[in-house]
């Protein structure tokens, strides 16, 4: 197990390098000169050139990338063009809000998706199965920003049950979590149903039932445990998508998280902040998938880690 973890960490190195190159390249392909933005549109040419020299924008791209990479390894993403504050300060102030939103949304998706998938699999082709699959289809079809607006209209404006904006209190958390986690719950429900149906027809399940094991034990202890591996894969991917998908949800609910920071920074051409925030999200996504790989063996000892 230790050898596998070390090997997987080493395999992450080229992935993280690729992510850093992609983030660095995208920002440099985006129209707009950071030096002009910092100096102002009417600034003298000499002032713009001096800023470019200070920021290293006159260096060859490979030199700029190397400086960016070595600084990022030290968690130094430069300073914000907008307010001259270190980028890491902005990220630290916002990251844990986005992380909380993603974690709560993942828990919501997992609990709701597992329950719906198990019920659909156990009661295959029944009315509840068909109804749940239709509901999951709607869940997959609704964009999270549209669902967020509808939730605000129904539960905040009309009923007054929850706060329409902000983050921190329970009445501020519920609606963003539902808006962001609904699509994930639908995907997990469908995956759970499919995986459970494959497992339920296995010989060891029939043997357990023939021995008189209670149906609840058969479903949750034997069938669900062995059906969880593809579900865990989906959950790991969904967590990354939730981190990225929080951009629109945070905008709709006026949550001061990392996603909203990225949107504001893009509009203001604050390239260092965008680079740093996107890189942090990408690295978090990569390490979450490492944890997913490790969890396979914990769920099923027969999984080959070689």
pLDDT of residue 302: 53
Identify the band that residue 31 occupies on the pLDDT scale cut at 50, 70 and 90.
low
Alpha helical stretches, state H, the chain? 2-29, 34-39, 45-55, 61-73, 87-122, 127-141, 144-151, 170-200, 203-210, 215-217, 224-252, 258-267, 271-299
The mean pLDDT value of the chain amounts to 79
Q: Residue 85 pLDDT > 80, yes or no?
A: yes
| pLDDT, greater one: 119 or 270 | 119
Tell me what pLDDT residue 299 has.
Answer: 58
The confidence band for 102, taking pLDDT boundaries of 50, 70 and 90, is confident
Phi, psi of 79, deg, nearest 5: -115, 150
Instruction: Give CA separation, 208 vs 95, 128, 221, 300, in Å.
Output: 47, 26, 11, 18
User: Residue 37's pLDDT is what?
Assistant: 65
Position 144 confidence tier, pLDDT thresholds 50, 70, 90? confident
pLDDT band at 40 (very low <50, low <70, confident <90, very high): low
User: Is the pLDDT at 306 greater than 60, yes or no?
Assistant: no
Q: 79: helix, coil or strand?
A: strand
Neighbour count for residue 14 (Cβ, 10 Å)? 9
pLDDT tens profile 155-173 = 888 888 888 888 878 888 8
Q: Name 59's Cβ contacts closer than 8 Å, sequence gap at least 6.
A: 67
Quote the DSSP letter at residue 59: S
What is d(CA 194, CA 120) in angstroms, rounded to the nearest whole number? 9
Contact (Cβ atoms closer than 8 angstroms) between residue 190 and residue 136: yes
Q: What does the alpha-carbon distance between residue 303 and residue 250 come to, in Å, rounded to a whole number?
A: 38
Residue 20 carries which DSSP code? H
DSSP letters of 155-182? IIIIS--S-SS-SSSHHHHHHHHHHHHH
Residue 64, judged by CB atoms within 10 A of its CB (0-12, 13-18, 19+), counts as: middle
**Per-residue pLDDT tens for 248-267?**
788 888 888 888 888 888 77
Q: What is the DSSP letter of 57?
A: T
Q: What is the pLDDT of residue 232?
A: 78
Q: Which of 180, 197, 187 is nearest to 135 (CA)?
A: 187
User: How far is 19 from 24, CA to CA, in rounded Å?
Assistant: 9
Residue 301 confidence (pLDDT)? 54
Domains of the chain: 94-299 (1.10.3720.10)
pLDDT attached to residue 38: 66
């Amino acid at each position: 197990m230790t050898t596998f973890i070390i090997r997987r960490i080493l395999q992450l190195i080229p992935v993280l390098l690729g992510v850093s190159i992609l983030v660095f390249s995208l920002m440099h392909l985006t129209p707009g000169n950071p030096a002009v933005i910092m100096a102002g549109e009417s600034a003298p040419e000499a002032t713009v050139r001096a800023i470019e020299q200070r920021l290293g924008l006159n260096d060859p791209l490979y030199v700029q990338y190397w400086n960016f990479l070595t600084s990022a390894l030290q968690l130094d993403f430069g300073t914000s063009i907008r307010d001259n504050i270190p980028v890491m300060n902005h990220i630290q102030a916002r990251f844990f809000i986005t992380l909380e939103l993603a974690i709560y949304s993942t828990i919501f998706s997992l609990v709701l998706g597992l329950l719906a998938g198990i019920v659909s699999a156990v009661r295959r082709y029944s009315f509840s199965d068909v109804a749940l699959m239709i509901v999951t289809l709607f869940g997959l079809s609704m964009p999270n920003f549209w669902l967020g607006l509808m939730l605000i209209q129904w539960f905040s404006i009309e009923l007054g049950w929850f706060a329409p904006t902000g983050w921190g209190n329970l009445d501020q958390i519920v609606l963003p979590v539902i808006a962001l986690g609904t699509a994930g719950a639908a995907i997990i429900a469908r995956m759970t149903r499919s995986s459970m149906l494959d497992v339920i027809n296995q010989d060891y399940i029939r043997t357990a039932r023939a021995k008189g094991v209670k149906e609840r034990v058969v479903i949750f202890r034997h069938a669900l445990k062995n059906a969880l591996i593809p579900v865990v894969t989906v959950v790991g991917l969904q967590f990354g998508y939730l981190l990225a998908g929080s951009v629109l949800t945070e905008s709709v609910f006026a949550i001061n998280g990392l996603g909203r920071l990225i949107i504001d920074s893009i509009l203001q051409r604050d390239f260092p902040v965008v680079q740093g925030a996107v890189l942090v999200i990408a690295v978090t996504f990569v390490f979450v998938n490492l944890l997913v790989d490790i969890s396979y063996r914990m769920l099923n000892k027969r999984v080959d880690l070689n």
